[in-house]
Structure 1
Amino acid sequence: MPSWRTARIHPARSEVTSADAESAPSSPSRPPVFDAEAYKQRNAVERCINRFKQRRGLAMRTDKLAIAYQAAFHLAAILMWTRR
């Protein structure tokens, strides 16, 4: 490779270790492993965050003091929990 060109970024096949090969997917078209339980938990957290974002005061953080924002957050959480 001429010295004026950019050096190669990707390692050669001989430089790839077995740990690198194990972490890489076997095929680019194969989807990653799906964990249903982790997906359920992540989905529940995202839905809860979106419910908080629907409240304008919490989403825009109009309170100047952190204690007032925290109180509004707790109040919104209590209201969401009681309406469930």
Structure 2
Amino acid sequence: MVVTGGQRNDGAVLAAVLADIRVPRAGAGRPRTRPVAVIADRAYSSGVTRRMLARRGIKAVIPQKRDEIAARKRRGRLGGRAPHLDAEVYKNRNVVERAFALAKQWRAIATRYDKLAITYRAAVVLAACITWSRI
């Protein structure tokens, strides 16, 4: 989990979030460090994000913004092909949104009373641990 300032663009820390991924394997072996796909909303639709994911071999399941679609169509053939969106996989994005909504049930997380990022991150981790223990 990476905590940033409220005014900072989420796309700027996407590389740091991807670098922190460690998924343990069922048996022995190194943990997986690369997800199969990244499911995100239109805020992550930039070409920079898509290229970064493609370089890492990660499938981008991100719809395009309306202005990006219009700009591509204005350019005609030079605009290129629209990136593929797997609509069935994109439907699973609600799981992440529900997890954020559940975390925001904690008033201290929703309002960000903590001044220090490390304290706020600890509260989010604690909320996640308590939520996971209830499942």
Flag whether TM exceeds 0.5 (same fold): yes
Query: Which protein is richer in helix relative to its size?
Result: 1
Does residue 17 of structure 1 match 2:76? yes
1:81 Cα deviation after fit: 0.4
Does residue 45 of structure 1 match 2:96? yes
Match of 1:68 among 102, 116, 119: 119
Q: Identify which of structures 1 and 2 has the higher relative contact order when contacts are C-alpha pairs closer than 8 Å and 6+ apart.
A: 2
AA matched with 1:54: Q
SS at 1:73 equivalent = helix
Aligned residues: 60
Does residue 56 of structure 1 match 2:107? yes
TM-score by length of 2: 0.39
Query: Which protein is richer in strand relative to its size?
Result: 2
Return 5+ residue gaps in structure 1 as ranges. 1-14, 24-32
1:46 Cα deviation after fit: 0.3
Bigger Rg over Cα: 1
1:17 Cα deviation after fit: 2.3
**Partners in 2 of 1:19 and 1:58 — Cα distance?**
46
Q: Deviations over 1:26-50 (max 9, x none)?
A: xxxxxxx76112211x111100000
AA matched with 1:83: R
**Partners in 1 of 2:108 and 2:102 — Cα distance?**
12
**Partners in 1 of 2:132 and 2:91 — Cα distance?**
22
Does residue 35 of structure 1 match 2:87? yes
| Residues 71/20 of structure 1: CA separation in 2 closer, same or farther (3 Å cut) | same
- How big is the alpha-carbon RMSD for the aligned residues of Structure 1 and Structure 2? 2.3
Return 5+ residue gaps in structure 2 as ranges. 1-73
1:20 Cα deviation after fit: 4.5
SS at 2:101 equivalent = helix
SS at 2:104 equivalent = helix
